[in-house]
Structure 1
Amino acid sequence: MRMRGSTVVRGVAIAVMAMAMAGPAIGACKVSKLAELPVTLIGRRAMVDAKFGTHDTRFIVDSGAFYSTLSRASAAEFGLSSTPAPSWFRLRGVNGDASASIASAKDFTLAGIPLPRVSFIVGGTDTGTAGLLGQNILGLVDVEYDLPHGAVRLMKVEDCGNVGLAYWAAGKPYSMIPLERGDGGPWKPHTIGTVLVNGVKMRAVFDSGAQTTIMTLAAAKRAGITPTSPGVRPVGYNSGLGSKQLTTWIAPFDTIDLGGEVVPKPKFNIADIKLDGDMLIGFDFFLTHRMFVSNANHLMYMTYEGGTVFGLTPTGARTTGGEKLDLTDTAGVPTDAAGFSRRAAVFLSKRHYPEGLADLDKAVAMAPTVGRYVFLRGQARLANGQLLLAAADIDKAAALSPDDNEVRLLRARLRVMSRDPAGAAEDMKVADRTLAAGSDDRLRLAGLYDSIDQPEGSIANYDAWLKMHGDDADRATAYNGRCWARALLDRELDRALSDCNTALKLRPGSASYLDSRALVQLRLGKLDAALADYDAALKANPRNAWSLYMRGVAERRAGKTEAADADRKAALAINPDVAKRAARYGLDG
């Protein structure tokens, strides 16, 4: 990959050697495939299908998880009993830690492969899936991560010694990184190797579950980068298995060298996180590389397969000798709807919408009664800005799969956006009936109820979600939402105030949380406290029509007529309907 005259990928010092699957390659070396796990890419996550008994679900392929995990809600949904982990054990992620328990599944199937008994760690932030597929499964043997072609393969290597295991390279250069050995304890080691960032050695955890590459602030400082360095800018919050959300910045670096693959001017996130290494090499890297992790030999082999990596979109690749590499994808054309769907997901993860939609058209044509493919095409069309076509696909998917909660929740959101609250409520009612009691989707459903001014539904779903997600990084959202709903209904105001205080403790200074607490204070008749919160909320978000209007209500009740008139006028100029909404809840100005 050459960019601006710089070499980005170069051949490693050893010779490139090709070998055949399940057959002799060099001497007695044999590489065979034990299992292939079809992977569907959804956004920046690699998913594999699984079953607990007859319950279908999905896991995120997470090479950075030392053990496979389940959320508490998933364990309850699948009927798994769990026992508390030892008091010293905590489930740790980039954003802190969380309590955990242990569960075992006796009837677990992964990508159609029955596994007689598998243990899971239960706890942490809900991922929106059943959980994470970690190293207790991925690290059992050697593993090949081939996300560019929608697969993870568990491999068996025999008598290969130091033979290069990038068997697919067929004479092309590949990179190789020595991996750290485990300590021989009960846990499989992470995939950790040393890379160079700005010429500084960094311990890098190769983590397919990290949605983007991220480095600790301490490591970035060693490479000469801090949050105040030129070109560094904040990009919001980062969350993982832990219970916190952390401020994150994106930062430019000079180079990163991964075992001979050199990328100039990369950009990746930095945050005050705790890791087993200095940085996580995340999904963006896995999506553009084919990687063979030899757990037996403690080596990783990889080739660049094309696409955006570390915030860059190279136009090609060259060796250090200047030879242009052929990045043409030589994988065979899919032969069934599932194959076209998986290939489409790869295209869509790279934002190659025409190619992805073309493959989804083929999947739908091959399996016209399968609602999943129609739904995926609807999602792709929505991401591509084709709103009418997307809505038609979502409607068709709902007809084909009427109890699919994912379909119902997306259509409800689209109906809210198109100002069809009655239609949205219909979909939400179905989802409310069919979702598991502690499903992570209840947080989304609660927000949808709020968006159509049905606070009763919001409270019920926030209650159900919080019951199963006590350590979740998103619990601030739930506490604030429940506070807001109670305040609108003028009900349980002491509990509402407690919820808002908890939300603000978790995320201090949030304008929307301050606005919620201000309404509670207003309902309680604590006008000075309400005005203080409205002032703080408007300082952070000065054009929020609701906050302006409600500050005017508080000011009028406090006898500050002139200020009240000014705020009311400003609010109505931004949103003429804000007064009608306030009046519905007895909050006339």
Structure 2
Amino acid sequence: MLASPAGAQDAKPRENYLRNIELCSGHDHAQADARIGACTALIDAGQDMTPAGLAIAHNNRGNAYAAKGDYDSAIRDFDRSIELNPTYTKPFNNRGVAYFTKRDYDRAAEAFDQAIKLNPNYGEAFANRARVFLRKNDYARAVQDYDQAIRLEPNLAGVWNGRCWSRAILGALQEALQDCNKALQSGSVNAATYDSRGLIYLKTGELGAAIDDYTSALRIDPKLASALYGRGLAKLKQGDKAGGNTDMAAAKALQGSIGDDFTRYGVQ
């Protein structure tokens, strides 16, 4: 039976509303602009939504703005989401990620603290706070947070390598090696993990293995300064002065402070 004209008119706004919910939620891998438009339509029709629903719409729009690199707009949406529902943990974590990307590490840490306080089992927030501690060169606290993240969500991207890197810098080399191997065995083959394991081998004096791992890292990311510098150091220690100096000069051209970083890592 065909719907009456009035019924058809009533159905159309409902269809649009449901489609906006899908787009705002990121279904079908919608593009950021489409997500922003859909979330905005829901927010503008706020009288039809609960405060909790509006909080989700603002959080989702914030994620879409962040995907476009508009972190200030994203943060405003995360702030509004939190105002609407102060017990909703996601916007705290997402606000932390936005501040982290803006290199405002103190505010990022505060946001992750709040997310963890609301939900002590929020593995992603622990992993994100660990990244803040890495940027602050507080490797012991980074390890503690990675411990929690791995306990809660061991399949999170980057957690095994993050703990490997932190432990390698602290000198817990066997534990670090286990973490890097775990990351590589799990299929997380990326430049950072090879770079981390290269540092371990550099510290243990396994120079050939260090060069191999740094070379693997550079195949994936040819401009990874730490891998270039580490490989250069390993080559120098093997007696390859020309190759070592070439790699180290290339690393310094990419990142002038890389030598100071390695001194802090305990390698010279």
1:564 aligned residue: 244
Q: Which structure ranks higher in relative contact order (CA pairs < 8 Å, sequence separation ≥ 6)?
A: 1
Which position in structure 2 is the counterpart of 1:354?
37
1:407 to partner: Cα distance: 1.4
**Gap change, CA 1:453 and 1:427, over 3 Å in 2:** farther
Shift of 1:508: 7.4
Does the CA contact (< 8 Å) of 1:438 and 1:468 recur in 2?
yes
Q: Show the counterpart of 2:209.
A: 529
Contact 1:521–1:530, Cα closer than 8 Å, also in 2: yes
Output one character per residue of 1:360-384: Cα deviation in whole Å (capped at 9) or x when no partner. 2332897679644432332333345
Cα 1:343/1:580, change in 2 over 3 Å: farther
Shift of 1:484: 1.2
Contact 2:198 2:211 (8 Å CA) reproduced = yes
Q: Do the aligned partners of 2:71 and 2:102 also contact (CA within 8 Å) in 1? A: no
Aligned length: 255
Q: Is 2:62 the partner of 1:378? A: yes
Contact 1:403/1:431, CA 8 A, preserved across alignment: no
Contact 1:403 1:430 in 2 (8 A): no
1:413 paired to 2:89: no
For residue 331 of structure 1, give the secondary structure of its aligned residue in structure 2.
helix
1:504 partner letter = L
What code does the residue aligned with 2:186 have? L
User: Distance in 2 between the 1:347 and 1:476 partners?
Assistant: 25
| 1:36-81 residue CA offsets vs partner (Å, 9 max, x unmatched) | xxxxxxxxxxxxxxxxxxxxxxxxxxxxxxxxxxxxxxxxxxxxxx
Q: Does the 8 Å CA contact 1:442/1:461 hold for their aligned counterparts? A: yes
Partner residue in 2 for 1:198: none
Against the structure 1 CA distance between its residues 402 and 547, is the aligned structure 2 distance closer, same or farther, given a 3 Å change threshold? farther
Distance 1:477 1:416 in 2: 16
Q: Is the 8 A contact 1:343 1:356 kept in 2?
A: no
Of 166, 172, 176 in structure 2, the residue corresponding to residue 485 of structure 1 is 166
Unaligned runs of 5+ residues in structure 1 are 1-17, 19-169, 172-327
The one-letter code sitting in structure 2 at the alignment partner of 1:480 is N
Among candidates 433, 440, 461, match of residue 145 of structure 2 = 461
Following superposition, the deviation at residue 481 of structure 1 comes to 2.0
Q: What residue ranges of structure 2 are gaps of 5+ in the alignment?
A: none
> Of 486, 490, 498, which aligns to 2:178?
498
Per-residue deviation, residues 204-259 of structure 1 (Å, max 9, x unmatched): xxxxxxxxxxxxxxxxxxxxxxxxxxxxxxxxxxxxxxxxxxxxxxxxxxxxxxxx
Question: 2:198·2:209 contact (CA, 8 Å) conserved in 1?
Answer: yes
TM-superposed CA distance for 1:346, in Å, is 2.0
* 1:553 counterpart (216, 224, 233): 233
The structural deviation recorded for 1:494 is 0.9
Once the two structures are TM-superposed, the CA of residue 400 in structure 1 deviates from its matched residue by 4.9
Contact 1:555 1:564 in 2 (8 A): yes
CA separation of 1:439/1:535 partners in 2, compared to 1, >3 Å: closer, same or farther?
Answer: closer
Determine whether 1:578 maps to 2:258: yes
Greater mean deviation of Cα atoms: 478-487 or 394-403: 394-403
Q: Quickly say closer, same or farther: Cα 1:557–1:466, change in 2 above 3 A.
A: same
1:182-223 alpha-carbon deviations (Å, 9 max, x no partner): xxxxxxxxxxxxxxxxxxxxxxxxxxxxxxxxxxxxxxxxxx
Change (3 A) 1:382 1:364: farther
Could you say what secondary structure the match of 2:219 adopts? helix
Counterparts of 1:549 and 1:511, CA distance in 2: 14
The structure that is helix-richer by fraction is 2
**With structure 1 as the length reference, what TM-score do the two structures score?**
0.38
Q: Does 1:395 align with 2:79?
A: yes
TM-score, length of structure 2 as denominator length: 0.76
CA distance in 1, matches of 2:72, 2:157: 35
Structure 2 vs 1, CA of residues 354 and 372 (structure 1 numbering), >3 Å: closer, same or farther?
closer
Letter in 1 for 2:44: D
Q: How does 1:294-305 map onto structure 2 within 5 Å? A: none
- For residues 188 and 37 of structure 2, the distance between their equivalents in structure 1, rounded to whole angstroms, comes to 43
Shift of 1:518: 0.8
2:204 paired with 1:519 = no
Q: Which residue of 2 aligns with 1:13?
A: none
- Cα deviation, 1:397-428, whole Å, max 9, x if unaligned, reads 34555554311221111111112112112222
In proportion to residue count, which structure has more strand?
1
For 2:47 and 2:39, how far apart are their aligned partners in 1?
Answer: 12
CA RMSD after TM alignment: 3.4
Q: Percent identity over the alignment?
A: 28
Paired AA for residue 42 in structure 2: D
* C-alpha deviation, 1:453, in angstroms: 4.1
